[in-house]
Structure 1
Amino acid sequence: MPKRATPSLTDKLSNTVFRAGMGLLQLMPYEKRIPMAGRLMTWVSPVLGFRRRIRANLALTCPDMPQTEVEHLCRAVPDNIGRTLAEMFSGQEFIAHVGNVAIEGPGAARLIQLKEEGRPCVLVSGHFGNYDAARGVLIARGFPIAGLYRPMNNALFNRDYLAAIETVGTPLFPRDRRGMTNMLRHLKSGGMVALATDQYFRSGAMLDFFGHPAPSPLSAAEMALRLEADLVPIYAIRQPDGLSFRIFVDTPVPHTTPEEMTQVTLHSLEAQVRAHMDQWLWIHRRWRKK
């Protein structure tokens, strides 16, 4: 959904509150700012309806989960969301903090080889850990990574959000026709692009995610097939200290059909989410009916 051209009164008020809160957080040292942002998001999450959505998604996908674990995730998931937002709005401090993180996993060597050979690559991830940390780490290492973003409905917040993620690295392409055209041009020139493909996509293919059909976009796999590019899952996994990350590159997905390739990426993401349940964005309406 495109952002509204004229901000409403609600847009103005919510953006003012967000900017004020983020401005106060910026006064704190980075090591205290990020945990505080997590605590603040946890405190306001009931008002925002986050806990209701988390419980509903867990009841659908993990019906046997103990109630104590459900309540833990109702606090831990908003904490990760708050930390991620504060990291994104911390600019160069965030980049400096994650810049030296090692790139590991069964697909790491192949990813480095693609960079050295100047070949295109479609990186796929989800709203997991801090999905922008992987982009920041790779850009700091000289990888020609572009990002695709969905413009926010609130035009005021969209302006600030875009400015924040641009500090992580450019180019960035909006999720519209012109943005997709420019992204394809970037890939054809030997570039790489990072996509989060785990949101509800009404016209997508009905594929399995956590044992339930979820409408999923096929665009990442289709681009990889069209340009004979590698399709590689990648994840920035938040570590127990709450500040650092592991950059895990999974095995490149074999070229078959867009549906089969996308299903492989969903299974890859699900494996990471099951290993780190508190790091996925469980507030997504991921399983809405098509």
Structure 2
Amino acid sequence: MSASAPEPRSLPERIGDHAVNAALMGALGLMRLLPYETRVRAFGRFTSAVIAPLAGWRRRIRDNLALAWPELPRDEVERLVRLVPDQVGRTVMEFFSPDEVDARIRDIALEGPGVETLLDGMEHHRPMILVSGHFSNYAIFRALMRQRYGALGGLYRPMSNVPFNLHYVRMMEANATPLFPRSRRGLADMVKYVRSGGAVAILHDQHMEDGVALEFFGVTAMTALSPAEMAVKYGAPLIPIYTIRQPDGLSFRIEVEAPIPPGEPAEMMQALNDSLEARVRAHPDQWLWIHRRWRAVQDGTA
């Protein structure tokens, strides 16, 4: 298992990071004065209209869609350019509204063929690797498990925007405990936690320089093998789980897929990529098209 250190930021990037952080935190502070539903909707619109162009997200979304989904109609591309940042903004505001979110998710029912395995593992403190992507508000599932079972480990990759990452980590700690940063020490601590019978939630859909070349949307995507390797080594089920935002923009469903069959780690991770791709194709506005998921191809290093 390997760690991925954040890339050094140039001076213009650092200035941009502080500008984005200032805009985000200022808007978050003001909007927290509004009723919950109003603030979630409003911050989604603000992120789409103000943060997205400031951070260069619109171009990133178009570039990713042109590479991975070139047959998508132009009007659908532009719809996603608007809606993906709106989804990001809603998710951020939900991160910063933990009390209201906790109250709203108490009665969410888990659905899907993997529910029995998941609940058995949580109730009997068996090691599990629970995997999703940056899809909808992935922290809703973590918050629900923490609420019902007291603990769910979480692996996260520190944001390149250092000022905002400080706030982000604090909010993530309200949804997953213990929380492990993607670093050498953090990964070692996570392995100990799993070996002791802990369940850990991992997002597997970020570019990993030291990953292997698998496919996502039919395009080479460098993918970490560590979730599958850990599942095989410790006999832990590898379970894909997706939180799906509903048409009202405020409520969620949680679907638990059947565990990925044990096998070669690369085959298991490709199955996870395929699982996530199917979810993204069904709900394209709910995935983080802002990520440079196909960086190796776009940089010509694949």
TM-score, L = length of structure 1: 0.94
Equivalent in 191, 195, 203 of residue 196 of structure 1: 203
Superimposed CA distance per residue, residues 178-233 of structure 1 (whole angstroms, 9 cap, x where no aligned partner)? 11111111111111000001011111111111011110011100110111111000
2:19 aligned with 1:16: no
SS state of the match for residue 281, structure 1? coil
Match of 1:129 among 136, 141, 145: 136
Give me the whole-angstrom Cα distance separating, in 2, the residues matched to 1:4 and 1:164. Answer: 24
2:52 is the counterpart of 1:52: no
Q: Aligned to 2:215, what secondary structure does the other structure show?
A: strand
1:124-176, CA deviations, whole angstroms, 9 ceiling, x for partnerless residues?
A: 10000111111111111216311111223344322211111112231101111
The residue aligned with 1:34 is 40
Aligned residue runs from structure 1 range 1-290, under 5 A: 1-2=5-6, 11-44=17-50, 45-142=52-149, 144-289=151-296, 290=302
Structure 2: stretches of 5+ with no match in the other structure: 297-301
Q: 1:266 to 1:221 in 2, by over 3 A?
A: same
Aligned length: 289
Residue 13 of structure 1 and its aligned partner are, at CA, apart by 4.3
Deviations 1:59-114 (A, max 9, x none): 12222211111111111111101101111111221222223211111111111111
Decide whether aligned partners of structure 1 residues 259 and 278 sit closer, same or farther in structure 2, where only a CA change above 3 A counts. Answer: same
The gaps in structure 1 that reach 5 residues or longer are: none
Q: Which amino acid aligns with 1:253?
A: I
Report the TM-score, using the length of structure 2 for normalisation.
Answer: 0.91
Letter of the structure 1 residue corresponding to residue 221 of structure 2: A
* In 2, Cα distance between equivalents of 1:280 and 1:154: 20
Distance 2:189 2:196 in 1: 11
Q: CA deviation at 1:279?
A: 0.2
Q: For the aligned residues, what is the CA RMSD?
A: 1.8
| Worse-superposed segment, 110-119 or 170-179 | 110-119
SS of the residue 2:261 aligns to: coil
Q: Percent identity between the aligned chains?
A: 49
Q: Contact conserved, 1:4 with 1:154, CA < 8 A, in 2?
A: no
Q: Relative to 1, partners in 2 of residues 1:94 and 1:192: Cα closer, same or farther, differing over 3 Å?
A: same
Equivalents in 1 of 2:15, 2:195: separation in Å? 43
Work out the CA distance in 1 between the residues paired with 2:211 and 2:46. 35
- Taking a change above 3 Å as real, the CA distance of residues 13 and 287 of structure 1, as seen in their structure-2 partners, is closer
AA at the equivalent of 2:143: G
Paired amino acid for 2:154: G
Contact 1:89–1:165, Cα closer than 8 Å, also in 2 = no
Distance 2:216 2:178 in 1: 30
In the TM superposition, what whole-angstrom CA distance separates every residue of 1:15-40 from its partner, at most 9, and x where no partner exists?
Answer: 33322111001101111011101100
Distance 1:239 1:272 in 2: 14
SS, match of residue 254 in structure 1: coil
CA distance in 2, matches of 1:159, 1:275: 33
Q: In the TM superposition, what whole-angstrom CA distance separates every residue of 1:256-284 from its partner, at most 9, and x where no partner exists?
A: 01100001111111111111010000111
